[in-house]
Chain A
Amino acid sequence: MSETITKVDFREIDKILESYDYKKSYLIAMLQRVQEVYNYLPEEAMTYIGKKVEGLSPATVYGVATFYAQFSLDPKGKYEIKLCDGTACHVRGSMPVLNAVRKKLGLSEDKKTTDDGMFSLNIVSCLGACGLAPVVVINDKVYPKMTADAVKIALDTIINEEKGV
């Protein structure tokens, strides 16, 4: 994991908690708002919520955050890769594409963001573009009919662009 973790602004978190009256029943909404701010749930923010909201503890907040797939505990990369593994993409070969991305970027099931913070990888269920399967979306750009080789070229292009800048 990269150590360049986002600096959490606790006044910002307090504002969010205050808007929900510090009530534990709003935990999921609180976490969603925090994720909107930071793109992920920083550990310090979860701890802070756990100790500030009555009836919760850091362990409980962490439990909720890791239960729901909507929450990310890893910071998002500069390039956010969404790889579709819906039914259509799956049968048309999304798995080789996934393996190629992971291998190329040194990621795994547990490690979703590269150490340099450049790329993060998320598997999603359907992007609504089944006719283009298998689909990969990097930030807002759609890469249709991907193969292991094609995705490597796409990633290399981005990496080279970044180097050139």
Chain B
Amino acid sequence: MSEDKKTLFIEGKEVEFTNEPNLLEIIRKAGFNVPTFCYRPDLTQFGACRMCVVEVEYPNGRKMINSSCTMPPEANIKVSLNTQRVRRIRKTVLELLLANHNRECTTCEKSGNCELQQYAEEYGVRKITYPTLQPEDMKEIDNSNPSIVRDPNKCILCGACVRACKEFHGHAVLGFANRGSKTLVQPMCGKKLSDVDCVFCGQCQAVCPTGALTIKSDVERVWDEINNKDKKVVVQVAPSVRVAIGEMFGLKPGENSIGKIYAALRKIGFDLIFDTNFTADLTIMEEGTEFVERLTKGGKLPLFTSCCPAWVRYLETHHPDMLDHLSSCKSPQGMLSPVAKEFVPKYYEGYNKDNMVVVSIMPCTAKKYEASREQLTRDGKPETDYVLTTQEFGRMIKSAGIDFKTLEDEKADSPFGEYTGAGTIFGASGGVAEAAARTAYYLVTGENIADNDIKPMRGVDKSSRSKSVELDIKGTKVVVRVVSTLSEAEKAIQEIKNGTANFQLLEVMACPGGCINGGGQPRSCDDIKVKEERAEGLYAEDKGMPLRRSHENPDIIRIYKENLEKPGSHIAHELLHTTYSDKRKGTYLSVGE
């Protein structure tokens, strides 16, 4: 630390600061808090909502009201967080926002999870003195896609979604339109999300403080299936759900609650419980084999991973000319469902293709879209019948009256419940590549990699969204590029297009940091540490597992022996691989082509 350390005063407490970008960060670091709708630490600051205003007294005695999220810290200022003036401003802001808001709180998807509702309650707003939104002023709700619902009548114009879309996706699908009191956040010309290049990653709704952008819920339909005696409901749980769902029940981010998840699923009434980690291992067998084949026998390189449905849709809409780079492997969700429907009847009595329903529990809103893909149907029915996000599953547990925290750990069902550490780390950016490297090394050399931990591939914070790692597979050099967010993926694509790409494998996850920070996870947009803790939870489970390489998973060995022959076999292709199509034509992107 340099000698000229600077300090300021917050509520009379002297606080040191260094290079914090704004006053709000210092306030939070010092253990205080101010409300905000538009400030999201992972996004650029915007200063739109004016909730984070504070009263600042300068050394010369002048007092000013400033928004703390846009104010650069200054030495020796005195900051008051809750003066009458400040509280009055915040309350007025809340009242004005509520006047313009469809206040159907109890029936709103964001209820209980909504910052507008929370602050209105905390600030005791009991009456709106301004003219309020009338039914005839209501705008149409966009319910057009399987993942996200957009309700402009609940938008407070904080712009968090617009920034998330621009900064993560790269090509802002959402934007501000019009001016003044007529301003709206919407896709171009008010189009529906399904008609534009939205990839359904759900990061917009993850940062949305209100019910303007929400997850399209499938909870009731799943309850209907569970309560239908003629149906056998099989469920799978994705890797990153286990380190996040606990947050909805008072557990710490990153705490692995997979045993409790299995127990809760059984209590709710699911008939068979499998783990998507199992098919993560299976994905590695198939994708690893595909990669080694392309590498040794000559095939389209770099190979792109295909587990992230938002990324797949991005490529289909923005770069349909590059679809041959994409691995033909289905995602782990996409693999488990047909495998279960095909083989469960062999192992369990009373199950057949017609009475089985497969539900998946995912950290992801785009997985709902993935399940609806035409390529992932069999005999006209979707292979995955329903997708619930972590949030929806958490709500199911609550409504079933289950005390999640005190549940005894249980196990998943055989034979698709065993997994290795390689399957677990699929949930974090870099995890798929690391798991693939462990098995590819074995496939090429016949030996196991010396160190399972490939640390340069890890890291989920803002500075780790693009990583290049060189692997030495006994003399064969392979460069792996790991990216999260589609704007980083786009840079990698441009390298390929202009001939400067030096990598052979590209792992892409659309959400910043990977699935642990997926759009369906419990809300955490206020705290950038949460995703790091969730990732640590996954790497800790991996580290502690007896088996950490997908090809050593006994259930994987068994399923190939009993059902799938070998990776890349005919039957494996039929069940585990898929095709892609040019989806650009369906969107406005094809204009002028």
Contact = CB atoms under 8 A, between A and B. Distances in A.
Q: Are A and B genuine complex partners?
A: yes
Contact of B188 (A13, A58, A67): A58
Interface string B9-51: 0000000000000000000000000000000000000000000
Contacts of A60: 166, 172, 175
Interface stretch (A44-52, A132-140, A156-164): A44-52
Interface residues of A, number: 19
Given A43-B189, A50-B188, A62 B175 contact: yes
Counting chain A CB atoms within 10 Å of each CB, the highest count among B173, B189, B196, B592 belongs to B592
B175 A59 contact: yes
A53 to B, nearest CB: 11
Interface string A8-35: 1010010000000000000000000000
Contacts of A58: 187-188, 196, 588
Interface in B136-185: 166, 171-179
Contact of B589 (A10, A51, A63): A51
Contacts of A59: 172-175, 177, 186-188, 196
Given A47-B591, A48-B591, A57 B175 contact: yes
Contacts of A57: 166, 171-173, 175, 188
Nearest to B190: A62
Given A44-B591, A47-B588, A66 B188 contact: no
Interface in A58-97: 58-63, 66-67
Contacts of A46: 188
A51 to B, nearest CB: 6
Given A43-B189, A58-B188, A59-B174, A66 B179 contact: yes
Interface residues of B, number: 19
Nearest to A46: B188
Given A44-B592, A47-B588, A58-B588, A67 B171 contact: no
A59 B10 CA distance: 41
Contacts of B187: 58-59
Contacts of B173: 57, 59
Nearest to A9: B592
B540 to A, nearest CB: 39
Nearest to A62: B188
Contacts of A10: 591-592
B118 to A, nearest CB: 29
B177 A63 contact: yes
Contacts of A43: 188-189
Contacts of B189: 43, 62
Nearest to A58: B188
B176 A63 contact: yes
A59 B172 CA distance: 7
B177 A62 contact: yes
Interface string B93-130: 00000000000000000000000000000000000000
Contacts of A66: 177-179
Contacts of B592: 8, 10, 13, 44, 48
Nearest to B588: A47
A67 B589 contact: no
A59 to B, nearest CB: 3
B174 A51 contact: no
Contacts of A50: 188
Nearest to A110: B182
Contacts of A67: 176, 178-179
Contacts of B179: 66-67
Contacts of B174: 59
A63 B186 CA distance: 9
A44 B593 CA distance: 11
A48 B588 CA distance: 9
Q: Most chain-A CB neighbours within 10 Å: which of B171, B173, B175? A: B175
Contacts of A44: 591-592
Nearest to B175: A59
Contacts of A47: 188, 588-589, 591
Contacts of B176: 63, 67
A49 to B, nearest CB: 10
Interface in B169-223: 171-179, 186-189, 196
A61 B171 CA distance: 11
From A10, A61, A67, name the one whose CB has the most chain B CB atoms within 10 angstroms.
A67
B212 to A, nearest CB: 15
Contacts of B178: 66-67
Most buried by A among B176, B178, B186: B176
Nearest to B176: A63
A13 B591 CA distance: 12
B46 to A, nearest CB: 14
A144 B592 CA distance: 45
Interface string B235-246: 000000000000
A43 B189 CA distance: 8
Contacts of B591: 10, 44, 47-48, 51
A63 B172 CA distance: 11
A62 B187 CA distance: 9
Question: Which of A46, A47, A62, A63 has the most chain B CB within a 10 Å cutoff?
Answer: A63
A47 B189 CA distance: 10
* Most chain A C-beta atoms within 10 Å of own C-beta, residue among B171, B173, B188, B196: B188
Nearest to A8: B592
A67 B175 CA distance: 12
Contacts of B188: 43, 46-47, 50, 57-59, 61-62
Nearest to B187: A59
Contacts of B166: 57, 60
Contacts of B196: 58-59
A57 B188 CA distance: 9
Contacts of A48: 591-592
Given A46-B188, A50-B188, A66-B179, 10 more contacts: A44-B592, A47-B588, A51-B171, A58-B187, A58-B588, A59-B177, A59-B188, A59-B196, A62-B177, A62-B189
23 contacts: A8-B592, A10-B591, A10-B592, A13-B592, A43-B188, A44-B591, A47-B188, A47-B589, A47-B591, A51-B171, A57-B166, A57-B173, A57-B188, A58-B196, A59-B172, A59-B173, A59-B187, A59-B188, A61-B188, A62-B177, A62-B189, A66-B177, A67-B179
Interface of A: 8, 10, 13, 43-44, 46-48, 50-51, 57-63, 66-67
Question: Top 7 closest A-B pairs, CB basis?
Answer: A59-B175, A10-B592, A58-B188, A63-B175, A57-B171, A62-B188, A57-B172
